[in-house]
Amino acid sequence: MKDTNCRYCTCADDISVKVADLETSVLLLPMDQTYRGRCILALNDHKSEVFMMAPDELAAWARDLSRAAKALWEVFSPDKINYAVFGDLYPHLHMHLVPKYKGGPEWGGPFLLDLSKDSLMSREDLEERAGQIRRKL
């Protein structure tokens, strides 16, 4: 089921580019790259909670998550990947995969969303970065 008013159902490209369609989700690369390689894994179906997924869908989503995280690890060599599920403002099940680097922004703490113009990548650079990730998937 899709919701035509949901940015994740429609893969709105105003703040991200699509990296790839996976088994049960889509991997997006947001323009805010304060955390080099940060991606969002959004479930294909419009569901807001993990318990709404059938067991086989949940298992497939976990495989997508693992596959995406491994690609980020191989491309960006982070010291750690943080995982976060929010959804207060966009109630569509999605997870932020946030590569973190010692000495980088918020090392040792939670990542922050910052849509200031200073942290936004150009669409061209974003597409290049998405291609690096895509090749590792």
**Is the pLDDT assigned to residue 81 strictly greater than 80?**
yes
Mean pLDDT throughout 116-129?
85
Over range 37-55, report the average pLDDT. Answer: 95
Superfamily in which the 16-136 domain is placed by CATH: HIT-like (3.30.428.10)
Domain boundaries, the chain: 16-136
Number of H helices, E strands in the chain: 2, 5
**For residue 126, pLDDT beyond 80:** yes
Query: What pLDDT is attached to residue 26?
Result: 95
Query: SS3 sequence, 1-18?
Result: CCCCCCCCCCCCCCCEEE
pLDDT bin (cut points 50, 70, 90) of residue 111 is: confident
